[in-house]
Amino acid sequence: MLYPIVRPIARLGLKAFYRKIYLSHTERIPRNEAVILAANHPTAFLEPCILACFLGRPLYFLARGDLFNKNFYALLLKGLNILPVFRLKDGGYGKLKDNYSTFEACYSALARRKTIMILAEGRTKQEKRLGPLQKGTARIAMGTLERHPNDLEEVFIVPVGVNFTYADQPRSKVMIDFGEPIRASHFLKEFEENANQGMATLTDILREKLERSLVIIDRPEDEKLVEQLLQMYRTEQPQSVLPVIAHHRRPLELEMRVAETVNRLPEKEKKELNQKVSDYFEELHSLGIDDQALAGKPVNRILGFFALVLGFPLFLLGFLWNYPPVWLAKYISDTQVKMLEFKAPVRWAANLGTHLIYLLAWLLMALFTGFWIIIPMVISLLLMGYLALYYMEFWALYRKNQKLRSLPEKEKKKLLNGRAEIMKDFRKMAASYA
């Protein structure tokens, strides 16, 4: 019951929290069929929220069993189509047997041709590589076919690659790609002969297909180099700000190519490239500018100034009115959350919750005072808060453009030449190791 109520509210919250959300190949998800969406797991719970909000179908989810320990939370989560999966550390062997009822609920949902989302890694880790996959996806798919042979001929497993530019930061970008569906029935015979082997084979195929939809940096020590190169490529291939939801794969393909090139580089070339790129970014940082200000489309000084002046009253109203719930959400995230993977999800959820309470307080004020003008005023201020996000981002870019203009032309030209040399060398490397 909660699901259809929360969904449209969460949609608005996600569109404010993220600058851009790319959904590619959604047409690969079979319609009116039993479907398991098997995704990687970079954040605590944002990826299922995004799919629930922007796919045109209700989803069922599996979540850690310890979240259901309190009756209130258990009731709330079940109202959102979330089912518990207990691990050994969530309550010992006694709790593990509770998974049987969850599996049965999954079998029943799939038999009714519903869609279930599973975070296939089974653990949360903010890194751009795929961890070991659990066999739960295969177990549920095979179990459904075994228990409902007369109701169901196929269970489709769709690999879902979830990629964040910066998973721990608001106003970053999300790229979600849906892979070619896997037919679970193709592995049923092997499963019936040897259950563990059948599940292992299916899990290996899922891993192979999932990696085709992910930005993968093989070695943690290469992450900084890849991220800096990605910043440079994003500058050269900017994407439109609106609409927030886009349905193409171009940014993801670019980021995958950059990461794959770095993965393939010989150690000597990688070390030389890393030194050049690090020196370039250190110089930018010392000057108070960034790659976008240096090499991106310049902001017109006069038009930008007038835009900032004219937009300032709307920005100020939106910023000040929305500040209390936004500050409280950030405070909760900063002080109450210790795991990096939970910080952004908790901040988003807290933002949603504090804004709802804040809005309710204003609506009650309108009800008790009879000043109904408060309602359109509150809606306007909420929209101004959304515009304030873009105003602050534009102001940051304008300020860095101003710093760039104050640089001596000789220094600016040196930076641009150094950047051009890096990009030229890297493109040659990409062509050589493709």
Asked if 20 contacts 390 with a C-beta cutoff of 8 angstroms, the reply is no
**CATH number for the domain including 99?**
3.40.1130.10
Q: What is the DSSP letter of 113?
A: T
Q: Which residue has the tokens 């304030």?
A: 388
User: Quick one: 330 and 421 in the same domain?
Assistant: no
- Are residues 188 and 132 part of one domain? yes
Residues 67 and 175 grouped into a single domain: yes
Q: Indicate whether 356 and 421 sit together in one domain.
A: no
Q: What is the pLDDT of residue 102?
A: 79
Q: Where are the alpha helices (DSSP H) in 212-296?
A: 223-236, 250-264, 267-287, 291-295
Distance in angstroms (rounded) separating the CA atoms of residues 148 and 17:
41
List pLDDT tens digits, range 390-410. Answer: 999 999 999 999 999 999 999
Same domain for 229 and 201?
no
Q: What are phi and psi of 281, to 5 degrees?
A: -70, -35
* Structure token pair of residue 227: 């991220």
264: closest CA among 212, 222, 206? 222
Residue 407 token pair:
């640089």
Residue 295 inside a domain? The answer is: no
Mark whether 209 and 227 lie in a shared domain: no
Measured from the Cβ of residue 337, the count of other Cβ atoms closer than 10 Å reads: 17
**pLDDT computed for residue 139 by the predictor:** 93
Residue 55: left (phi > 0), alpha (psi -120 to 50), or beta? Answer: beta
Give the list of residues 6+ apart from residue 311 with CB closer than 8 angstroms, or none. Answer: 387, 391
One domain, residues 80 and 137: yes
| Final residue belonging to a domain, choices 214, 246, 271 | 214
What is residue 68's predicted lDDT score, i.e. its pLDDT? 65
Give the pLDDT of residue 3. 75
User: Residue 202: inside a domain, yes or no?
Assistant: yes
Residues 64 and 94 in one domain: yes
417 lies in which domain range? 222-289+411-432
Cα–Cα separations (whole angstroms), residue 375 to 78, 356, 370: 32, 14, 11
The pTM of this model reads 0.92
Counted domains in the chain: 3
273 and 422: one domain?
Answer: yes
179 found inside a domain: yes
Closest C-alpha among 296, 42, 349, 20 to residue 172: 20
Do 420 and 401 share a structural domain?
no
Decide if 296 is inside a domain.
Answer: no
Residues composing the chain: 434
Q: Is 144 in the same domain as 237?
A: no
CA 158-162-164 angle, to 5 degrees, is: 170
**Judgement on whether residues 277 and 345 belong to the same structural domain of the protein:** no
Check residue 110 and give its pLDDT.
Answer: 94
Domain end, chosen from 214, 249, 276, is at 214
- Could you tell me the mean pLDDT of each successive run of 10 residues in the chain, 434 residues long? 80 95 97 96 90 90 68 68 64 57 85 93 88 93 93 95 95 97 96 95 97 97 97 94 94 97 95 97 96 94 96 97 96 91 92 94 92 92 96 96 94 96 95 81
In Å, what is the CA distance from 415 to each residue of 28, 37, 107, 287, 428?
A: 44, 46, 59, 11, 20
**How high is the pLDDT of residue 97?**
58
Q: How far apart are the C-alpha atoms of 378 and 329, rounded to whole Å?
A: 19
The CA distance from 243 to 245, in Å, is 5
Residue at which a domain ends, from 214, 231, 246: 214
